[in-house]
Structure 1
């Protein structure tokens, strides 16, 4: 005899009540927690300084527009402009460089400038402050978000070749000490920072001779100023001894990295840099920014630069 739907449900409920489990249905399995996402490996974008082409000696490779086009053809992601390589600063020219980068599919990511604050002459320091502020405005006009700054050198070496012969070590001006220099550099850079913040151009103090010859010197200045618009530009080739420990000291404050290579032998010196090791130490500190090639070898740049790009791609990606 057929049972009605009501009778069937009543019987099923009664049977469940008599079961050892005392449940109408088996318990649902416990919900599993979603697995934590795996840490994403850092892969840095590879840029190139226009200096890599020109090197202050290849006249046919000085034109910055040409450098931007060659960079794109070779496969770089971005270009850093060396100020001393520029032959024009007119607004029309600055916008032309911006356009050239856009149509070639590369960023303008860095602006490399020179200034010198190691002087007891207050007027000379002020001229360098004014020049640095002008550079910040040029970077802003080109849409460049980072700019390399230096402490400058004491100027007691005969020339740059002499400075390199002494491994970057230089005596202060007679009658003054490094302690005087730190005060001048800190005061000068502090006066540049309001314009940097206004323009949105992040300054990176480079380990680049003078008081920036050591990581302790760079960090002393950056920590004393303690401003988010001044951090560190880390140059892999400017520590001539024990580079890895010294680079690691500055890595947490690095906002930009310049990577030197020396195919064909270096112009002033040659370093055998372990770039996988450098990439690892930077990534351990969470560095995600640009890595900009500074080719400083005697090899023809049109041959040495592609070799350098392959080296950096392998190490940083």
Structure 2
């Protein structure tokens, strides 16, 4: 298994220090990573920056573990959903240029009174449409268990099965299951055969004395991002399960806490390396 860090994992530093994508890649090289996870919303001038990004990756001999598209298929009109489909298809072509065969995708977000049952058909329709392009390019669409609408493992599994493409799989986010009150170990056991990308992440319950704003769960619990290993996720169980499943893909760190992001990510990398021994 190989280790990468998501650019989003350094988001506080990116915003504070105005990092470019190249700056982030330079940082990744400085902590001896195998690769980086890049996201669609960090481009300022994609046409110009894409060439620079590819050049910096080549210079440092770093791979791209995944290219992340920030799509949302939970839109009431077909015209709105067509825009989201176009985002994913553009992401497939960008991933190809970046040399990765993984495009992280979302299902969609809570909106008004809409439920997962209301939105499932839109999600499946969108992914089926995108899967045609993914299959042609031999690139996986890896659905992240993100947000509160379709964040349970059984929902991710159901969507994958209904789309019915060998190129639609799972980005298994170890922490996000806590937001929908599902034990990550249980989720892993359900999805382990469908995983093509992993977000190595952890959360803990916010203390009453803390003034930070965390993430609200489906039951109103507030969770705060931590360095992996300091929270509620049994990461050793998941890493061992990946080993037992002969998973040979990427483990990509995604830190969402309030500590210094560079320090937190470097500690996360060290801890993950220990688990992989």
1:313 Cα deviation after fit: 0.8
1:59 Cα deviation after fit: 3.0
Shift in CA distance, 154/56, structure 1 to aligned 2, threshold 3 Å? farther
CA distance in 2, matches of 1:258, 1:267: 22
What is the TM-score when the length of structure 1 is the normalising length? 0.75
In structure 2, the partner of 1:155 is 111
Whether 2:47 is the aligned partner of 1:87: answer no
Whether 2:101 is the aligned partner of 1:145: answer yes
CA distance in 2, matches of 1:98, 1:234: 26
CA distance in 2, matches of 1:105, 1:180: 45
Task: Give 1:60-209 correspondences, 5 Å limit.
Answer: 60=17, 62-90=19-47, 92-156=48-112, 171-172=113-114, 177-209=115-147
In structure 1, the partner of 2:156 is 218
Which has the higher Rg, Structure 1 or Structure 2? 1
Q: Which runs of 5+ in 2 are unaligned?
A: 207-211, 215-222, 225-230
Task: Give 1:207-246 correspondences, 5 Å limit.
Answer: 207-240=145-178, 241=181, 242-246=183-187
CA distance in 2, matches of 1:106, 1:99: 10
In structure 2, the partner of 1:255 is 196
CA distance in 2, matches of 1:56, 1:128: 28
Q: What's the C-alpha RMSD, in Å, of the aligned pairs?
A: 2.0
Shift in CA distance, 94/291, structure 1 to aligned 2, threshold 3 Å? same
Task: Give 1:40-59 correspondences, 5 Å limit.
Answer: 44-55=1-12, 58-59=15-16
CA distance in 1, matches of 2:13, 2:156: 26
From 249, 262, 270, the counterpart of 1:289: 249
1:276 Cα deviation after fit: 1.5
1:212 Cα deviation after fit: 2.5
Higher fraction of strand: 2
Which contiguous aligned blocks of 4+ residues in structure 1 show a shift greater than 6 angstroms?
none
1:141 Cα deviation after fit: 2.0
1:55 Cα deviation after fit: 4.2
In structure 1, the partner of 2:265 is 305
CA distance in 2, matches of 1:205, 1:306: 26
3-state SS in 1 of match to 2:33: coil
What is the TM-score when the length of structure 2 is the normalising length? 0.85
3-state SS in 2 of match to 1:295: coil
1:104 Cα deviation after fit: 1.0
Shift in CA distance, 104/253, structure 1 to aligned 2, threshold 3 Å? same
1:285 Cα deviation after fit: 2.3
Number of equivalences? 254
Output one character per residue of 1:154-205: Cα deviation in whole Å (capped at 9) or x when no partner.
Answer: 323xxxxxxxxxxxxxx41xxxx53331111111111111211222321101
Q: Which runs of 5+ in 1 are unaligned?
A: 1-43, 157-170
Shift in CA distance, 144/222, structure 1 to aligned 2, threshold 3 Å? same
